[in-house]
Amino acid sequence: MKIPGNTFIVTGGASGLGLATCKRLVNLGAQVVLLDFNEENGKSVTAELGPKCTFIQCDVTSTESITAAIEQSEKLHPDNIRGLVNCAGVGGAILTLDRKKRPHDIGMFEHILRINTIGTFDVSRLTSAVIAKLPPLGKRIEGEGGIESGGGERGVIVNVASLAAFEGQDGQAAYAAAKGGVVGMTLPMARDLGRHNIRVMTIAPGSFETPLMTAAAESVQLGIKKGIAFPQEFGQGQEFAHLVTSIIENTYLNGTTIRIDAGARLAKL
């Protein structure tokens, strides 16, 4: 799918990977609707990114809030919403049993699933219902630009998982369950939504430069970097965003998860 002129919803767009995604999409000529529950950040981002980017406050754990945000998005960009990038998410580091053999709080486990897994699915199902009603984009025609011409597709959803889905570390049972859930639902969602010419892909990022990461103890940062093949640095938001737009552009990418991690594998702590 071509990016310029189309509208994309980005959840969690007020910070980190979501923010980098909004920037790149706007730079490439798209309109962006940024959904986030952090109003302060959301507003300052839209102030920075200009009129192509609109902020709508939204909590992805509330179906009501999502419904309202999508309705508003449609009004702002009638018949033009072609994609969704699900960056809203939250981590967690809680041992299944702590040193005193006390079990993991079950509320926290549920909370982490609610934002990352249920939230991602809830925004996706409601956005795909909107996209499915749009006319398909132009057919792919060999020799006339192929992939750029669209493949008859209606839209594309990009989810965000994590390496924790594959090699969750100590303390990541909840987060790995949540992101494993996102990885697991990618193919059946692609199969379901393929009937409506909508693609579904997932990105599993390694360790990206975020306030959380750069605030971590030097020893923790070194430990993470030692496990990386190359470059032995944290990822940049632009690199994540580049992968998002590569996926949007390439109609034959569907139903799978891509690791972007500089060759890292998460070790036992």
Ligand X SMILES: NC(=O)c1ccc[n+]([C@@H]2O[C@H](COP(=O)([O-])OP(=O)(O)OC[C@H]3O[C@@H](n4cnc5c(N)ncnc54)[C@H](O)[C@@H]3O)[C@@H](O)[C@H]2O)c1
Kindly list the catalytic residues: 175
Q: DSSP state, 115?
A: I
Query: Residue 257: beta bridge partners?
Result: 202
Q: How far is CA 269 from CA 77, 167, 220, 227, 229, in A?
A: 47, 12, 10, 12, 18
Q: Compute the chain's Rg from CA coordinates.
A: 18
Binding mask 78-97 for a copy of itself (x = CB under 8 A): -----------------xxx
Give whichever of 13 and 155 is closer to ligand X, judged by the CB atom.
13
Rule CB under 8 A: which of 110-129 touch a copy of itself? 110, 113, 117-118, 121-122, 124-126, 128-129
For residue 155, with 0-12 CB atoms within 10 Å meaning exposed, 13-18 middle and 19 or more buried, which class applies?
Answer: buried
146 is in the binding site of which of ligand X, a copy of itself, none (Cβ under 5 to 8 A by kind)? Answer: a copy of itself
Report whether 230 contacts 263 (CB < 8 A): yes
Residues that bind ligand X (CB under 6 A): 11-12, 14-18, 36-38, 41, 58-61, 87-91, 115-116, 119, 160, 162, 205, 207-208, 210, 213
User: How far apart (Å, rounded) are the C-alpha atoms in residues 235 and 260?
Assistant: 8
Rule CB under 8 A: which of 20-59 touch a copy of itself? none
By CB under 8 A, is residue 185 in contact with a copy of itself?
yes
Binding mask 192-221 for a copy of itself (x = CB under 8 A): xxxxxxxx------x--x------------
By CB under 8 A, is residue 138 in contact with a copy of itself?
no
Looking at 85-172, list the stretches that DSSP marks H as alpha helix, in order from N- to C-terminal side. Answer: 106-113, 120-131, 164-167
By CB under 8 A, is residue 63 in contact with a copy of itself?
yes
Instruction: Find the shortest distance in angstroms from Cβ 39 to ligand X.
Output: 9
* Neighbour count for residue 2 (Cβ, 10 Å): 18
Rule CB under 8 A: which of 248-267 touch a copy of itself? 249-256, 258-267
